[in-house]
Amino acid sequence: MLRFTIRRLIELVLVFFGVTFAIYAAVFALPGDPISSLGGDQPLSPAVVERIRDLYHLNDPLWSQYLRYLGHLLTGDLGVDFRGRSVAERLAARWPVTIRLALTAWVIQVVIGVGLGLVAGLRKNTWIDRGVLILTILIASVPIFVMAVTAQLVFGVKLSLLPIAGVSDGWPVSYLLPATVLAIYGLAAVARLTRGSVIDTMSSDFVRALWAKGLSRRRVIGVHVLRNSSIPVLTYLAIDLGALLGGAVVTEGIFNLPGVGQLLFESIRVHEGPTVVGIATALILIFLITSVIVDLLNSLLDPRIRHD
């Protein structure tokens, strides 16, 4: 177990360096000068552009820029953007929004997805089972922006039930609509996985033995079936949470939620190298850490899975 953990951590460090460099180089390679378009419509005078380029060392070669960035990064300094704003501060202001959105969406997915899957699995091949299948696939096949804009028009403009943009009404009101829209797209997968897993477990020998022992239905399903069929679902859900935390660019954009995904999108648009790498680094760390946790969790839940 210890060796496994250490190996995973070393991998993590390697991936970290590789990916930060790749992203840094990618932003660097984008055509066009981010500084001369800082002024939007209005051109900046060439002298101003030159000064700002000097200020951010944009005239240095790529490797030297990257090493300087890395040096700062290792001391915990994410640097500043081309407007002189601290990247760490901007990120810090946006994490709460993304985390709230991700967790809300995730909880909706867990409750509704697992619930639907469980019902479908226990009543396999009935009209309920088929209904769940058709319903989840049907919603998941609508493009997310169509779903989002429709939700805004129905719940915001027509019914005036929920705010459709921004976070000024706080959690949960401001997050309900975007989180639900976001959650819908994971529902089908969670429900299908749960269903399949439940059906497998129900037909396994140990469950038959439990029935034979005369255990109550509640106990068999509530404790034994649920626990044993949760492994694949749990893996999926953990990875899904990582993905949700990566910021939902489209959803955050349409609902005007100032989250990490939105910042990433804007930063790429204006070639804000330091901000892009800062966000990407954080996201990679989240992803790597969740996958390590999933591996560890799996081996705890199922003693048959051992890594060393």
Partner 1 sequence: MKRAAAALLAGTLAGSIVLAGCSGGGSGGSADGGTKSVSYAVSDPVTLNPGRQTIAFAQIKELFSSLTFIKSDGSLTYLNAESVKSTDAVHWTIKLRPNWTFHNGEKVTAESYVKAWDTVAYGPNAWENSGQLVNIAGYDALNPAKGKPTTTKLSGLKVVDDLTFTVTLKSADGQFPTQLSQAQSGFFPMPEAAYKDLEGFAKKPIGNGPFEMVDAYTENEPMTVKRYDAYQGPKPTVDEIVFKPYTDMTTAYTDVQAGSTDILFVPASRMAQVKKDFGDRAYVFQGLGMNYLGLPLWDKRYQDIRVRQAISMAIDRQAVSNVIYGGIWEPATALTPPGEPGTPVGLCGDLCKFNPTKAKQLLAEAGGFTGKMEIRYPGGSGLDDLYNAYANQLRQNLGIKDVTATPTTDFPEFQKLRNDKNLSGPYFSRWGALYASQQNTLRSFYTKAGGCVNCIPYYTPQIEQLIAKADAEVDPQKAIQGYVDVQKAILKDFPAPPMFFEKYAYATSDRIAKLAEGAGSLELENTTLADS
Interaction site with partner 1 (CB under 8 A): 30-34, 36-48, 51-52, 55, 83, 85, 90, 93-94, 107-108, 111, 115, 149, 152-153, 156-157, 159-166, 168-169, 172-173, 176, 226, 253-256, 258, 262, 266, 269-271
Question: Would you say 185 or 255 has its CB closer to partner 1?
Answer: 255
Could you tell me which of 71, 60, 78, 67 has the C-alpha nearest to residue 277?
Answer: 78
Question: Would you say 20 or 152 has its CB closer to partner 1?
Answer: 152
Task: Report, in Å, the least distance between residue 119 CB and partner 1.
Answer: 13
Task: Report, in Å, the least distance between residue 28 CB and partner 1.
Answer: 12
Whether residue 172 has a cis bond before it, omega within 30° of 0: yes
Q: Contact 53/59 with Cβ under 8 angstroms?
A: yes
Could you tell me which of 115, 94, 113 has the C-alpha nearest to residue 105?
Answer: 113
Question: Would you say 256 or 291 has its CB closer to partner 1?
Answer: 256
Coil vs helix vs strand at 204: coil
Q: What is the DSSP letter of 75?
A: T
Task: Report, in Å, the least distance between residue 265 CB and partner 1.
Answer: 8
Angle, helices 273-301/62-74, rounded to nearest 10 degrees? 50
Task: Report, in Å, the least distance between residue 267 CB and partner 1.
Answer: 12
Task: Report, in Å, the least distance between residue 248 CB and partner 1.
Answer: 13
Question: Would you say 4 or 95 has its CB closer to partner 1?
Answer: 95
Q: What is the distance between the alpha carbons of residues 17 and 6, in angstroms, rounded to a whole number?
A: 17
DSSP string, 194-248: HHHHHHHHHTSHHHHHHHHHT--HHHIIIIIIHHHHHHHHHHHHHHHHHHHHT--
Task: Report, in Å, the least distance between residue 103 CB and partner 1.
Answer: 11
Q: Contact 185/140 with Cβ under 8 angstroms?
A: yes
Task: Report, in Å, the least distance between residue 142 CB and partner 1.
Answer: 18
Task: Report, in Å, the least distance between residue 247 CB and partner 1.
Answer: 13
Question: Would you say 153 or 305 has its CB closer to partner 1?
Answer: 153
Q: What is the distance between the alpha carbons of residues 73 and 24, in angstroms, rounded to a whole number?
A: 13
Question: Would you say 25 or 48 has its CB closer to partner 1?
Answer: 48
Question: Would you say 237 or 288 has its CB closer to partner 1?
Answer: 237
Q: Contact 194/121 with Cβ under 8 angstroms?
A: yes
86 forms beta bridges with 80
Q: What is the DSSP letter of 143?
A: -
Q: Within the chain, how many helices (H) and strands (E) appear?
A: 14, 0
Question: Would you say 20 or 174 has its CB closer to partner 1?
Answer: 174
Q: Where are the alpha helices (DSSP H) in 80-172?
A: 87-108, 115-122, 127-140, 144-151
Q: What is the distance between the alpha carbons of residues 270 and 239, in angstroms, rounded to a whole number?
A: 30
